[in-house]
Amino acid sequence: MSLPEHHRSHRVGLLRASVLGANDGIVSTASLVLGVAAAGASSEGILVAGVAGLVAGAMSMAAGEYVSVSSQADTEAADLTMEAEALVTHPEREQAELTTIYIKRGLDPALASTVAIQLMQHDALGAHARDELGLSDAQAARPVQAALASAATFTVGAGLPLLVAVLTPAAALLWAVPASSLLFLALLGSVSARAGGAPIAVAASRVTLWGALAMALTAGVGAAFGVVA
């Protein structure tokens, strides 16, 4: 007896929002702290900038995810409404569309027609949503869930470099924050890859590379403006 398969596709939406939030929290806050520190700001100024960045970033992530995923949900709802109307006004055409889809997937025409008829008798809209539109309950847009996940994970991610900045002496700030943040990013990439069943090394190196680039550029800008000041 074979063991049941444990797929991860149902996690995609929540995992994407969570990883995006945590990654942005670490990268943006660490970059902000480095930029302000490189410009010669005081410890108090660095802390204020970091906290402000955390709050603003969390709200921005929540709003952005909610608006984006709401737009996706609106589009999905509009497509389902259009499909429901077509099923009422042109059922034969819709059955033919479903039959064609199954033929393209490898069924012979007679079997494809039988499957289309039976599925439409059982749940016509569900069959067309799944097989024609590519929509399913597992991957349905959930705006509130995405917004909360992004805001929460951004806050956690942003809190990590901010905590390092609070605990580290000013003289060591410019190396402690980037070093620890790169470690946090590597751990985030590893955890997200593990949760999604993806290669760990690829995910960890990807987020670390882009994080390092963002921090380097921001520190450079801060140093340049600090010199000008």
Q: Give the 3-state secondary structure of residue 205.
A: helix
- Report domain extents, the chain: 10-85+144-228
Average confidence (pLDDT) per 10 residues, the chain, 229 residues: 44 66 89 87 87 92 87 86 88 88 88 88 85 72 82 92 89 88 88 75 84 86 67
pTM: 0.70
Q: What is the dihedral sign for C-alpha 62, 66, 67, 68?
A: positive
- Of 44, 5, 61, 20, whose CA–CA distance to 165 is shortest? 44
Distance CA 167, CA 78 (A): 51
Distance CA 136, CA 129 (A): 7
What pLDDT score was predicted for residue 126? 85
- CB proximity list for 93: less than 8 A, separation 6 or greater: 86
Phi, psi of 2 (to 5 degrees): -80, 150
What pLDDT score was predicted for residue 7? 44
Q: Give the 3-state secondary structure of residue 106.
A: coil
41 vs 17, 45, 220, CA distance in Å?
Answer: 33, 6, 14
What pLDDT score was predicted for residue 162? 92
Contact 143, 63 (CB under 8 A): no
